[in-house]
Structure 1
Amino acid sequence: QEWFVVLQASTYCDLFLERQGSAAMHICFINLQLTYYGTIYIGTPPQPFKVLFDTGSSPLWVPSISCKDKAYSKHHRFDPRKSSTFHGTGQPFSIKYGKGSVEVILGRDTVKLGIQTYKYLTVLCISKAIRPTPLLLILHTIYLCFRKTDGSMVIFGGIDQSYFTGRINWIPVIYKYQWRIAVDSILVNSKKIACRDGCQAVLDTGTSLLLGPKSEINQIQQAIGKVRLTFADFLHTVHSFNCRNLRKMPNVVFVINGIQYPLTPQAYTRKDNGHCKSGFSSGSKDYDHLILGDMFLREYYSVFDRGNNQVGLAKAV
């Protein structure tokens, strides 16, 4: 199979704003606020693609007309023949994921994000084989809203202070091929209940829950109390509890670079058809680090600064 690589395909939202001279766009969400997505344009004239903005994955994907997989036969696919700015490299690339792998032929083309056009964006962003593109060298920020369909925002090249309160706390990135940071500890009622000797975490907009090693997640579940294992599959475990216990449950506090980042019970709980489920989960894969997904990122305005190899967090409003 041959794929053209730029951004992962998803569903549709087409709202754009210009703020402080940066490229900004609203992100829509679907499925109980579990998926956030927007639209980009590739090529000349531009071809629209519905995408997930996933900080947990370094390559950017869309299917092309070269892809013969039947799963994409009914989806919009990139056609390089219709773009006057497309440049094929003929360079093969392959990558393995936790589930499956992809083989591709690389190319270059213009990509429009909101009002900004990035010329000749290399299709692979962070890789040992391909140098990072300018897109990920600039600063971009994420604001994920739980309450309003059009409230969430991704901004490339700027910070909008209307989306957070207080100051931004800067945290060094400890692994340059991911947005991975060091976590000091995890507290409940001022006691260390997980990550006691420190651990690592990835800020991942492409993950809806907060995932981690089974031992650490089990300790968190025990500390918040009155949760029971509902089911487990190859993706994750699900713990549920009586919604009437919600007001009695404690905050879970992540200490990062000396600063406390609390999650209230309302923040770490998912409500589905009257049932309350814990947003902490582990899967069949025993992670060696935490994945701070949308459950965490909805609470904190997030700044991804590849130029200075750091991330910033501030309390979202």
Structure 2
Amino acid sequence: MLALLLAVCIPASSFAGQALIALHRKNGNLDAVASRSAKNVAYFGVFQLGNPPKQFTGCFDTGSSDTWVPSTSCVNPSCMTHNRYSTSESSTFNATTYPFEITYGTGAVAGSVGFETMTLGSEKNTLKIPHQGFGMVYDSSMDFLTASCDGLFGLGFPQLSNMRTLPVFFNMMTQGLLDAPTFSIYLNPDPAAEPAGEVQFGGMNNARFLGSVNWTPVVEKSYWTVTLDGAKVAGRAVDLAATTAIMDSGTTAILVSSADAAAIHRGISGVEFDQTGGYYSIRGGCSSLSRLPDIAFVVGGQTYTLPPVQWTQSIQGSSGGTTGNCISAIIPGGDSHSVILGDNFMRAWYTVYTYDISSKTAYVGIAEAAAMTK
């Protein structure tokens, strides 16, 4: 199976380039309540729209497919605190009559769809994507007032789009702009470090992972959904109700059903459920992590282990500093059929996403994330 899978991922000779985008974080702490609603996007990078190009920051999200930024027509406070796009300042803008509305786990936006030239990457490795569909937001909820990014950069499948346009990655492939039909995401294992990670379009960065990449087929092409065979706690198998896992860079933690959360945490000494907060707290705080076991998820028959420092998260105090308290980043309240493997998983494991246009098959590759070196 692996040999056949790697053959599918061979780059086509017509592809032409790569782009690397550095990612940053606003902070390194988990808002447990926001994470329970599945969307507390923190990782963001830079892209440009228009001619002349105007710079925006976007939260790069494999769990959604639409790209949008605030418009100058939006005068909501949540738009005014961010860079806004003006249709009159670009010679490459094309309008449509398509409206859109999107409701996320936290927050909602509405606007209209346009087409524009998008620019990604650095001066040495720049990709220009002509006629890229994107959203111009006219109305944005207050949830985005203090968001770390101007807008969202969707990396999911076209089937998930609310805008009836090709997501950026699929548009790049259709236009033959990439060395390989692939993008990859590296999140720095150290959540307090800068840069916080990177997104690479058109290939993989071998310096960002250790060993080989394990490939598993995507079983549902809307989210990047793969098979889940259960979990392990200290090497002990744990049966889960969920049978699939979703790779989602736009989810801060690891979201599971309440039943699966109980199954994973059951029997772990030093972990207790907080009825008020709706999460599992670590008895003794962050200083007691060394006494906790590893937790693993079995994806596509391969075991991916998280040490305690990766499956837990420190709690931010009201003044912005850490409190010394830690909780489990495996948060209850998710769907019973799927586990969402968010940023806590992706800081431990480098992920690669590839799609073959001719066969319409997709795969996720996973490899151990390496420590970032300058």
* Cα displacement (A) at 1:93: 2.7
CA distance in 2 between partners of 1:129 and 1:38 (Å): 22
* Cα displacement (A) at 1:21: 4.9
The 8 Å contact of residues 230 and 240 in structure 1, kept in 2 or not, is answered as: no
The 8 Å contact of residues 45 and 59 in structure 2, kept in 1 or not, is answered as: yes
CA distance in 2 between partners of 1:212 and 1:27 (Å): 26
Q: Evaluate the alpha carbon distance shift between residue 295 and residue 74 of structure 1 in structure 2; reply closer, same or farther with a 3 A threshold.
A: closer
CA distance in 2 between partners of 1:161 and 1:200 (Å): 27
* Cα displacement (A) at 1:180: 1.1
Per-residue deviation, residues 242-275 of structure 1 (Å, max 9, x unmatched):
2454222111111111111111112112234322
Q: Evaluate the alpha carbon distance shift between residue 82 and residue 256 of structure 1 in structure 2; reply closer, same or farther with a 3 A threshold.
A: same
Say whether 1:220 aligns with 2:264: yes
Say whether 1:118 aligns with 2:129: yes
Q: SS where residue 81 of structure 1 aligns?
A: helix
Q: SS where residue 59 of structure 1 aligns?
A: coil
Deviating more after overlay: 67-76 vs 95-104: 95-104
Instruction: Find the counterpart in structure 2 of residue 130 from structure 1.
Output: 164
Instruction: Choose the corresponding residue for 1:247, options 290, 307, 321.
Output: 290
The 8 Å contact of residues 102 and 162 in structure 2, kept in 1 or not, is answered as: no
* Cα displacement (A) at 1:188: 1.6
Q: SS where residue 56 of structure 1 aligns?
A: coil
CA distance in 2 between partners of 1:150 and 1:111 (Å): 23
CA distance in 2 between partners of 1:254 and 1:209 (Å): 14
TM-score with structure 2 setting the length: 0.72
AA aligned to 1:295 is: N
Deviating more after overlay: 116-125 vs 37-46: 116-125
Structure with the largest fraction of helix: 2
The 8 Å contact of residues 232 and 238 in structure 1, kept in 2 or not, is answered as: no
CA distance in 2 between partners of 1:280 and 1:130 (Å): 34
TM-score with structure 1 setting the length: 0.84
Instruction: Find the counterpart in structure 1 of residue 238 from structure 2.
Output: 193
Instruction: Find the counterpart in structure 2 of residue 4 from structure 1.
Output: none
The 8 Å contact of residues 231 and 239 in structure 1, kept in 2 or not, is answered as: no
Instruction: Find the counterpart in structure 1 of residue 347 from structure 2.
Output: 298
CA distance in 2 between partners of 1:140 and 1:128 (Å): 22
Per-residue deviation, residues 265-297 of structure 1 (Å, max 9, x unmatched):
1211223432222111123x6554211011000
* Cα displacement (A) at 1:139: 1.1
Instruction: Find the counterpart in structure 2 of residue 274 from structure 1.
Output: 324
The 8 Å contact of residues 24 and 155 in structure 1, kept in 2 or not, is answered as: yes
Q: Evaluate the alpha carbon distance shift between residue 198 and residue 270 of structure 1 in structure 2; reply closer, same or farther with a 3 A threshold.
A: closer
Q: SS where residue 345 of structure 2 aligns?
A: helix
The 8 Å contact of residues 27 and 154 in structure 1, kept in 2 or not, is answered as: yes
Per-residue deviation, residues 77-128 of structure 1 (Å, max 9, x unmatched):
1101101000001122334444564433111001111121111112277238
The 8 Å contact of residues 185 and 199 in structure 1, kept in 2 or not, is answered as: yes
Instruction: Choose the corresponding residue for 1:160, options 189, 205, 218.
Output: 205
Instruction: Find the counterpart in structure 1 of residue 303 from structure 2.
Output: 260
* Cα displacement (A) at 1:224: 3.0
Q: SS where residue 267 of structure 1 aligns?
A: helix
Instruction: Find the counterpart in structure 1 of residue 21 from structure 2.
Output: 25
Q: Evaluate the alpha carbon distance shift between residue 28 and residue 102 of structure 1 in structure 2; reply closer, same or farther with a 3 A threshold.
A: closer
Give 5+ residue unaligned stretches, structure 1: 1-19
Q: Evaluate the alpha carbon distance shift between residue 254 and residue 29 of structure 1 in structure 2; reply closer, same or farther with a 3 A threshold.
A: same
Q: Evaluate the alpha carbon distance shift between residue 25 and residue 98 of structure 1 in structure 2; reply closer, same or farther with a 3 A threshold.
A: closer
What is the number of equivalent residue pairs in this alignment? 294
Q: SS where residue 62 of structure 1 aligns?
A: strand
* Cα displacement (A) at 1:302: 0.6
CA distance in 1 between partners of 2:27 and 2:280 (Å): 17
* Cα displacement (A) at 1:22: 1.5
CA distance in 1 between partners of 2:26 and 2:104 (Å): 24
AA aligned to 1:132 is: L
Q: Evaluate the alpha carbon distance shift between residue 54 and residue 223 of structure 1 in structure 2; reply closer, same or farther with a 3 A threshold.
A: farther
Map residues 26-65 of structure 1 onto 2, 5 A cutoff.
26-32=22-28, 35-65=42-72
* Cα displacement (A) at 1:226: 1.6
Instruction: Find the counterpart in structure 2 of residue 16 from structure 1.
Output: none
- RMSD, aligned CA: 2.4
Q: SS where residue 306 of structure 1 aligns?
A: strand
Amino-acid identity (%): 32
Give 5+ residue unaligned stretches, structure 2: 1-15, 31-41, 136-153, 174-180, 315-321
CA distance in 2 between partners of 1:152 and 1:116 (Å): 19
